[in-house]
Structure 1
Amino acid sequence: MTDMKQKTAAHDVPEKSVPKRRGGSRLAPLLIVLAGAVVILILSYTLPPFRNYQLATVGAYLCVTAGLTVLTGLNGQLSLGHGALMATGAYAFALAQNKWLSMPVSFVVAIAVTTAAGAVIGLAAARLRGPYLAGLTLAVAIVVPSVTSTFDEVFNSDQGLSVVLDPPPGTIPMERWQVWLCWAGALITVLVLATLVRGRFGRRLRAVRDDETAAKLAGVNIARTQVLAFVVSAVCAGLAGSLFALLAQSVSPGAFPLTLSLFLVMAIVIGGLGSLFGALWGAVLLVALPAFAQSIAEQTGSHRLEGNLALVVFGVVLIVVMLAAPGGLASIRFTFIRRFRRVR
C-alpha cells in the first residue's frame, strides 16, 4: 500500500513544480547569430557595392557598441574614450599587418594591445565614479590622437598609415569580402557577450551597477568586476578599430576624433542601454544618421555644416527617442507587446 501511495503521489505532482531545462534559453543566442549570418550572407549577394560597404561598416560598429552597452548599461561605467580604444586597435592592426602581412596575426596583435590598454584604464577607472570616470576616459580620447603626432616616425603623424592587404580569395568582390569579415567579427562578439551576460559574469555586472554595497556583502569583488568589464569592452573596441582599418585600408588620427566617442555613447542610449539588440540599432544609426546629415549638407550646398550637422541630428534623434521611448529603440517592441495584451 505504501508503494502504491508513493507512485500515485509522484504522478499527482503538477507539471509546474518540475524544473524545466534551460537548454533552449542557452541555445537562443546561437540560433539568433546563425539566423543573422544567413541574412547577412543573402544581403551581401543582393546589395550593390556601396551598400555592401555600408553594411560592413554597421558590422564594425556593432562590435564596439555591443561592448560599450555592456560596460555602461550593465555595469554602470560611463566611457567617453572608446574612440581612442578603437584608434589603438586600428594602429596596432596596421603596424602588424604592414610588418607580417598576416591578417589573423594582425587581429590577435590588435586585440592584445587594446586588452592591455583596457586593463590599465580599467584599473584607474575602478577607483573613480561618475563625472571623474567620464573625465578620465575623455582625457584618454584626447591624448591618444596626439601620440600619433608625437611619434611621427612610427605613426606618420596626421597623414596616417596605409594598410597592406592581400586580395580577396578567388573572384570575391572586395566589398563582399569586407562584409563577411566585419560581420564574422560582429556575430562572434555578440555571441560571446550574450553568453557572458546571461551567466554569472552578467549577474555580477548588474549587482555592481544596482548597489555596490549589497554586491560587496554578497561576496562580489567590485574592483575586479569593473576592471573585467572594461577589459571586455576594450577588446570589442579594439576589434572594431582593426575592422575599420580593414575597411578604409588606412589609419589616421582624423578617423577617430573626439566626436566619435560622443556618437558611440549617444548611439547606445538611443538603441537601448544594456541591450545587445539596442547595440545593433545604435550601429545602424552610426551609419545612417551621418549619411543623412551629409545628404542634407550637399543639398543645401553648405559644406561647413557637414561636420556639425551629424551631431545636431544625433541630438535631435536622442531627444525624440527619450521622449517617445525612454528605454531606447530596443524597448519599443516590449511596449507594443504590452499594449497588444491590454487590447486583448
Structure 2
Amino acid sequence: MVDPPGAPAGAPGPGLDEAARPVDRAGGRRGWRPVTRREERPVRDPGVPDQRPPVSPATVLCALLGSPVAHSGSPAMHDAAFAATGRDARYLAFDVSAAGFPAAVRGLAALGAAGANVTIPHKEQALALADEATDRARRSGSANVLAFRDGRVLADDTDGAGFARAVAEAGARLEGAALLLLGAGGAARAVSAAALDGGAAQVWVYNRSPERAVKLARDLDPSGRRVRVLEAGDLGGAVAGADLVVNATSLGLRPDDPSPLAAAPGGWGAAADLWLQARPGTVAVDIVYAPHDTAFLRGARAAGLRTVDGRRMLVWQAALAWEAWFGETGPVDVMAAALDRWLERRRGAGA
C-alpha cells in the first residue's frame, strides 16, 4: 500500500498554502512540482535527533509519486528513519498527473534517485513502466515501490507484505481463512494476492464497479476456485462467513465518510446490522490510516469485533521499501513513532 485511493486534497489557496498540482508548461506539456502546502511540507521530526549531514550533491533522493499526496504520512516516516540512522537522504512528495507520471519516473531515474513510493492512481502504471519487477508485483498487477539502478526501473509491491505483517501482529491468521475484501484497486489487488499466498481458503471481492472486481478475480485466480466476486446482496452472508473483513476502498479518509458496507447499494440493510451477523472471532482490517478510527472500524468494534487500523500496514510497507532501495529493512519502530507523531500534529491542526 503506500496510501489508499481518493484522499481529500483540500481546497487549494494561493501561494504557499496551495497544494501542488500538475501545471501547464510551454508547448502544452504537463509538469509537476513538490507539495508546498505549509502544514504538509516535510519538517524535521522533533522526536528524532537528526544525525544526517547537510544536504549536498551526495545526498540521496527518495520520493512519493501520486495524486493527491498532501495527506500522506510517508515523508514523516522516511525522513525520521533517515535522521535516526544517519543516512544521507531526503524524502519528497510530488503530486503527479497520470499524463506526467512516466516523465516523473524517468526524471528520478536520470537524477540518480534511490527510489520512489507510488500511490494512487499510478500503481498499475508503475508496474507497466518498469524494466524489471518482483514476483509479488507481477502477481498483484501493481507496484507501490520503484528502485532505480543504472537508469533502469525496478518495481516491487510491499503493500501486500505490509498487510500480512499487520494481520499477523494482530494475532489473526491468513492460512485457511475466508476474507471479504471491499475494493478492487491497486491496494486491494496487493491485499488479495498476499492473502492467497498466505494460504487463505477464500477471497470474496465486492466493488461498486464490478468490472474491476471481475478483472482482479480473473488475474489472481484464473480457475475461479478461491476468488469470487460478490454483488451487494451477497454481503450479509459474506460478513457472516468471513474470518477477516478488509476495507481497501477510499471510504474513511474523510471524517464524515460512511462505512463501505453502509455505502454499498442494494437495500440490504445498514452496516451495523451486517456487523451483527459476523462471528465473534472475525477481525476487521482497514487500510486507511488517517484518520485511523473510521466508521468501518467503529461499526466493527460496536459489534464486539477485533479491529486493525491502517497504521501498521503503512509502516511495514515503508520499512520493506528500504529493502529495494538500500538492501535492508527500514527501522520499523522509528517509522511507527514518527507516524504517530505526524498524526497527532495533523489532528492538532484540525486536518
Higher RCO (CA-CA < 8 Å; seq separation 6+): 1
Question: Is the structural similarity TM-score above 0.5?
Answer: no
More helix by share: 1
Q: TM-score when scaled to structure 2?
A: 0.29
Query: TM-score when scaled to structure 1?
Result: 0.29
Larger radius of gyration: 1
Structure whose residues are more often strand by fraction: 2
